[in-house]
């Protein structure tokens, strides 16, 4: 379920949220930055691939860790970008789309916790046989 939220956040919701405003006051969406779009879609793709690998929990765990690293890279870029943008109390130039990697990291950590719990349950059942 958590991985489905990540797919929705990074593939669908990011289309309608503003990332930041440039120096001319124009709002920059995902279409304005190609490599940011590639990062968001690859995060969604890795989460979808992880959903499809439901029988291989160890591979899911590894893919989710890789996805966390990619989210941290994107979050680092957004922090760097927001520190270089000037913002005032009345008009903020930072968009809500910059928080999507934070939510993705939280959902990935919760998904890894659930995968670990499932793996421990399967191991305990195998021990009883």
Domain-embedded: residue 72: yes
Residue 117 has pLDDT above 80, yes or no: yes
What's the whole-number mean pLDDT along residues 85-109?
Answer: 76
- Asked if residue 59 lies in contact with residue 79, where contact means CB atoms within 8 angstroms, the answer is no
Domain-embedded: residue 30: yes
Domain-embedded: residue 125: no
Domain-embedded: residue 33: yes
Find all residues with CB under 8 Å of 100, minimum gap 6, and list them.
9, 10, 13, 14, 17, 40
* pLDDT band for position 23 (cuts 50, 70, 90): low
Domain-embedded: residue 68: yes
**Environment class of 55 (CB within 10 Å of its CB; exposed 0-12, middle 13-18, buried 19+):** exposed
* pLDDT band for position 13 (cuts 50, 70, 90): confident
Tell me the three state secondary structure of residue 88.
Answer: coil
Domain-embedded: residue 47: yes
Residue 38 has pLDDT above 70, yes or no: yes
Domain-embedded: residue 105: yes
Domain-embedded: residue 128: no
Q: Which residue in 32, 28, 36 sits closest to 77, CA to CA?
A: 36
> Model's pTM, two decimal places?
0.83
* pLDDT band for position 90 (cuts 50, 70, 90): very low
Overall domain count for the chain: 1
Instruction: Please tell me what DSSP assigns to residue 28.
Output: E
- The residue range of the domain holding 10 is 2-119
Model confidence over 46-89: pLDDT tens digits? 999 999 999 999 999 999 999 999 999 999 988 887 777 665 54
Residue 4 has pLDDT above 80, yes or no: yes
């Amino acid at each position: 379920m958590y991985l489905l939220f990540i797919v929705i956040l990074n593939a669908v919701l990011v289309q309608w949220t503003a990332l930041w405003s440039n120096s001319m006051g124009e709002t920059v969406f995902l279409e304005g930055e190609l490599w940011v779009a590639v990062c968001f879609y690859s995060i969604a793709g890795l989460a979808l691939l992880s959903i499809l690998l439901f029988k291989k929990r160890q591979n899911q765990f590894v893919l989710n860790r890789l996805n966390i690293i990619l989210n941290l890279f994107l979050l680092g870029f957004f922090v760097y970008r927001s520190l270089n943008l000037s913002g005032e109390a009345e008009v903020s130039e930072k968009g809500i789309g910059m928080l999507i990697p934070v939510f993705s990291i939280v959902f990935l950590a919760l998904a890894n916790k659930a995968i670990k719990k499932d793996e421990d349950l399967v191991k305990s059942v195998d021990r009883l046989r």
